[in-house]
Every structure is written in structure tokens, then in C-alpha cells.
């Protein structure tokens, strides 16, 4: 998959949800995990939900406030929140460099956090989902958008056309010189 991403949450209070988010991020290839204003005492209980031992593989950043957050240059913040004006997830173009932030278990992203986001997306459901389920759906959608898969079939079943294998070509030199080991330059 191209690019990089991070997954995090604002205001989490349940250790098991932290563990689930870390495991989900790890499974989908997150570069790091973060929390903002989390109300958990330690990661110990979180590890009961994270049998992949994500802290051994992913850096974890714990920020106390929105103002403390720091992301790499070019990284776009994507808030996941069920608001009327949010972009519906199936129509969203995922940035190559992104930090996805989800709200707390019993609430929404703070207005301060929403203002910090470059995009707000929503999963088109009738009501809010568990934070771990929402994260999995968003990351799966990113995976489908940036992964290398055959086009989805318009009818039931497998794709009609398989994914074409990438063809590696010879290096191209503007000077026109020949490349050892290759018959000719295109």
C-alpha cells in the first residue's frame, strides 16, 4: 500500500477500546498510534484486546490536548464523525499521508479537534458505531483505495478481469546511452 497513516482517538476512557484500536491499526499497517486526552490509567488492560502486541511494533503517542498534537509535514488530519456535512466514506479520496482520529466511546470529536481536521468523514449508518468497528471500516476503505486490487465486479462474485501483473521496464536514460543487460531503451 502506498503512503502512510496513523490511527488515534480523542477522549477514550476504556482500555479495551485502546487495545482494539491498536490491534486494528497494526493489522492494516499503521505507522503509529496516538491518543489525545485519553482517560486510561495504563496500557496493561488494553493488551487483553491486543494479542498482536502492537506496542512492540507501533510507536504510541499520548497527547494531553489538541494543541500538543504534532504530525509530519504534509500529513492530513481526517476526523471520523457522524455529522450532517461530513463526507461519506465510500466517496472519500484518502490522502496518501493521513492521521485518522475517532471520537470517544460516548461522545463526539470536540469542536476544537474538528476544526483541526482537514477532512471529516462519516460512515453512512443510521447511528454511531463502536469506536473499534468504525476504525476497522475506515482503514479497510483506505486499504481498498490505496491497495493494489482488481476492479470490483459489478455483478455478484469474483472480479471478471484479474489484476494485471506489474511490468518492470528498463531504465530510461535521456542521453540515449545503452543500458547493459537490456536490448534497447523504449
The least confident of 22-31, 86-95, 144-153 is: 144-153
State the DSSP code for 133. Answer: H
Q: What is the pTM of this model?
A: 0.81
In angstroms, the Cα distances linking 108 to 16, 48, 137, 156 are 19, 25, 18, 37
Domains of the chain: 4-146 (3.40.1280.10)
Q: What angle do CA 142, 147, 152 make, to 5 degrees?
A: 90
Could you tell me which residues are beta bridge partners of residue 10? 36
- Span 73-94, average pLDDT: 96
Instruction: Output 134 or 22, whichever has higher pLDDT.
Output: 134
- Among 63, 90, 46, 49, which Cα is nearest to 8's? 63
> Tens digits of per-residue pLDDT, 87-107?
999 999 999 999 999 999 888
Q: How far apart are CA 102 and CA 135, in angstroms?
A: 7
- All residues at 6 or more sequence positions from 60 whose CB lies less than 8 Å from its CB, including other chains: 22, 32, 33, 34, 35, 43
Phi-psi region of 114 (alpha: psi -120 to 50; beta: other; left: phi over 0): alpha
Amino acid at each position: 500500500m502506498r503512503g502512510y497513516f496513523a490511527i488515534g482517538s480523542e477522549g477514550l476512557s476504556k482500555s479495551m477500546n485502546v487495545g482494539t484500536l491498536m490491534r486494528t491499526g497494526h493489522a492494516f499497517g499503521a505507522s503509529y498510534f496516538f491518543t489525545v486526552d485519553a482517560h486510561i490509567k495504563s496500557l496493561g488492560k488494553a493488551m487483553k484486546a491486543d494479542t498482536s502486541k502492537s506496542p512492540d511494533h507501533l510507536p504510541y503517542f499520548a497527547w494531553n490536548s489538541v494543541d500538543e498534537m504534532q504530525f509530519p509535514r504534509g500529513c492530513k488530519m481526517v476526523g471520523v464523525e457522524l455529522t450532517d456535512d461530513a463526507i461519506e466514506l465510500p466517496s472519500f479520496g484518502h490522502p496518501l499521508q493521513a492521521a485518522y482520529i475517532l471520537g470517544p466511546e460516548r461522545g463526539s470529536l470536540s469542536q476544537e479537534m474538528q476544526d483541526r481536521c482537514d477532512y471529516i468523514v462519516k460512515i453512512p449508518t443510521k447511528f454511531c458505531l463502536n469506536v473499534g468497528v468504525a476504525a476497522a471500516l475506515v482503514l479497510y476503505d483506505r486499504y481498498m483505495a490505496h491497495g493494489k486490487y482488481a476492479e470490483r465486479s459489478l455483478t455478484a462474485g469474483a472480479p471478471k478481469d484479474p489484476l494485471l501483473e506489474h511490468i518492470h521496464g528498463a531504465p530510461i536514460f535521456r542521453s540515449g546511452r545503452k543500458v547493459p543487460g537490456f536490448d534497447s531503451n523504449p
